[in-house]
Structures are given as structure tokens and as C-alpha cells.
Amino acid sequence: MQNEVVSREEWLEARRALLAKEKEATKLRDSVNAARLALPWVKVDKDYVFETPEGRKSLADLFDGRSQLLIYHFMLGPDWDAGCTGCSFLSDHVDGALPHLNHHDVTWVAVSRAPLDKIAAYKQRMGWKFPWVSSFGSDFNFDYHVSFSPEDLAKDKVFYNFTPMQPADANDELPGLSAFYRNDKGEVFHTYSSYARGPEELIGTLMILDRAPKGRNEDSTMNFVRRHDEYEEAAQAPSCCH
């Protein structure tokens, strides 16, 4: 299917109309960002312990000497054979950002309930460098509403994305992003969390595709995505002989 073909003058008129909407979206994004920064904080009083390649660490330890911590809730359960495809897609975009984040006083850490050896194996398969730790045996994933026990999923509702939802629409693991701040006293505060499609803007490939002629060209959200080592060779250009 091909869009309407018009003269350069007609295209320019349509493009200027779209530009006005793009500017509105930029202003709205700025407003949302300001509101995000103005959110109140919640002090984290619970002691969470994570298994890391360097040994057991607390939530405060994960800051790695910086004042800000972003935790990506990566879907990799204790009995999973591989990480979530969508989480892997997002994580493909992280390593290049790490030097910039760290220089700007931000530490990025992925957290999953899978044991550390399973995390290490999948991380090696994907070729990633970002820190990734295990919350296995901790309440962390459950308290931040990204993991659900069989008992949770047997209830009438589960709480995800700040909303009660049908267990049939949930899973034992779901994705999310949480932000924390550590002050000079060593106190840790939960400042923000985002779930479902909330962290989508972190996926640069999607932002690029949005500018391509066919956009995301998907039948459902990210249904075209595969782990980066699972794509078949690029399809040949269509031919009238096929």
C-alpha cells in the first residue's frame, strides 16, 4: 500500500501541519518530564539484598558511588531458559549509553529473579556489558510489582502499572523501570517507576522506525522483534518474479 503522491508544494503544506503537531508533542514531553521531576519521593526502609558477581550487595551498594540509580526490571524468571525478547530489545540500547549515564551521576543496573549463573550465561550470549544482578530470594521484584507468585496469579486481580488487572493478562514476570536517589546520609528514596510501554522511549530503534516510511510496520506491539541473534538473514527486495 502506498500513500497519496502529491506535488512538492502540497507535501510541504502537509509537512508544516505535522511539524506543528510535533512541536506540541515536544512541549508536552517537556511538561511531562517536569512533572516527573516534581514527583514526591518515598524512603526505602526495607533491606534488599542482591546477588552480584562481586558478592552480595544492598540496594544502596548498587548505586556504585553515584547518587542516582536506574533499575531495569528485566524479565528473566528463575526457571526461564532465556530473557524476554522485549527486554532484550531494550537492553541492546544500554551499553552505548553507560559512559554518558555514569558521567552524569547515574548508575544503570538490570535486576532479575533468575539466579546469577543463568543471568551470566544469557548476558554472555547477548554480548552485553551493563551490570545485571539477581534478586532471587528477595522481595524486591514483588514489592515493585514486576513479579507474581502462583498465589498472586490465582487471585481475582494483580497490581501492575498502578492498576488492578486480570491475572490472565499478567505473567509471572513483567517489565518495568524504577529510579532511586541516595543522599549524603546514605538514605535511599524511590522516586519513580514506569511499566508496560512506559520505558518505550528508551528503545532507540523504535524512535528511528517511527521516522521510516513504513513506521514500525507491526501487527501488534513489537511483534516483529526478535533477540538480536535470532533474526534470519534480511529478506531480499521484492521481485515481480515471486
At 55-80, the pLDDT tens digits run: 999 999 999 999 999 999 999 999 99
Cell numbers at 128, concatenated = 552485553
What secondary structure letter does DSSP report for 122? H
Rounded Cα gap, residues 67 and 65, in angstroms: 7
Return all residues near 155 (Cβ < 8 A) that are at least 6 apart. Answer: 167
Return all residues near 14 (Cβ < 8 A) that are at least 6 apart. Answer: 6
pLDDT tens sequence for the chain (242 residues):
789 999 999 999 999 999 999 999 999 999 999 999 999 999 999 999 999 999 999 999 999 999 999 999 999 999 999 999 999 999 999 999 999 999 999 999 999 999 999 999 999 999 999 999 999 999 999 999 999 999 999 999 999 999 999 988 889 999 999 999 999 999 999 999 999 999 999 999 999 999 999 999 999 999 999 999 999 864 443 333 33
- Closest to 134 measured CA to CA, from 236, 32, 52, 222: 52
Rounded Cα gap, residues 184 and 56, in angstroms: 22
